[in-house]
Amino acid sequence: MSSNSSTDSKLSLRFGVLAGMIVLAAFSRMIPHMLNFSPLGAIALFGAAHFQKKWQAILIPIAATWLSDLFINNVIYARYYPEFTWFYSGFYWQYGCYVLIALLGLLLFKKVSWQRVAVGALGSSAIFFLVTNFSCWIGSTTYAQNFGGLMTCYAAGVPFLKGTMLGDLCYAAALFGTFAWMQRQIPALKPALSVANHQ
């Protein structure tokens, strides 16, 4: 086997494992969980840290999120949707959060460390809290459309922040920790340059 073929197969293996872990994590949303305890922020960080192409780092976690949304909306919560639902109302705010979290990951994970993972998870929670509560406030008839109304909306969202933070921290620890362990067991899962240096 040529060195190029060997490198390609290792890249394919790495890509497949990363994508598989992200899809599996996204579909773990089907498991009963506390409110706002979600893997979606963590998979955006994880993809940004490990995919070698930036478009993969953003697109694949978003695609996994969308696929899990399709299943949840049309199978688990089908009784709430009279027709097949491709996208739920306001989805762009949520998906915009995950793009921002992936961009945070691209800036943060020039090198992966536990400290950066923790900072990324907390940053993910902050992004989700700020963006989604802003989306609840803007144009709302419940909250006054001024600064005071916005602050009231953020205050109302604080009780949900615990679940978001725990989800981001727990899933980030699980994903990053599992893949770090797998890389030690299977050197081909290391980035291309690391694999080349290992040979």
- Write down the domain spans for the chain: 3-194
pLDDT tens sequence across 108-131:
999 999 999 999 999 999 999 999
**Backbone phi and psi for residue 144, each to the nearest 5 degrees, phi listed first:** -60, 140
Neighbour-count burial for 184-198, b at 16+ CB within 10 Å, e otherwise: eeeebbbeeeebeee
Answer yes or no: are the C-beta atoms of 46 and 172 closer than 8 Å.
Answer: yes
Residue 13 to residue 123: CA distance in whole angstroms: 30
pTM, to two decimals: 0.88
pLDDT tens sequence across 120-170:
999 999 999 999 999 999 999 999 999 999 999 999 999 999 999 999 999
Nearest to 97 by CA among 133, 148, 47: 133
Q: State the CATH class of domain 3-194.
A: mainly alpha
Answer yes or no: are the C-beta atoms of 76 and 30 closer than 8 Å.
Answer: yes
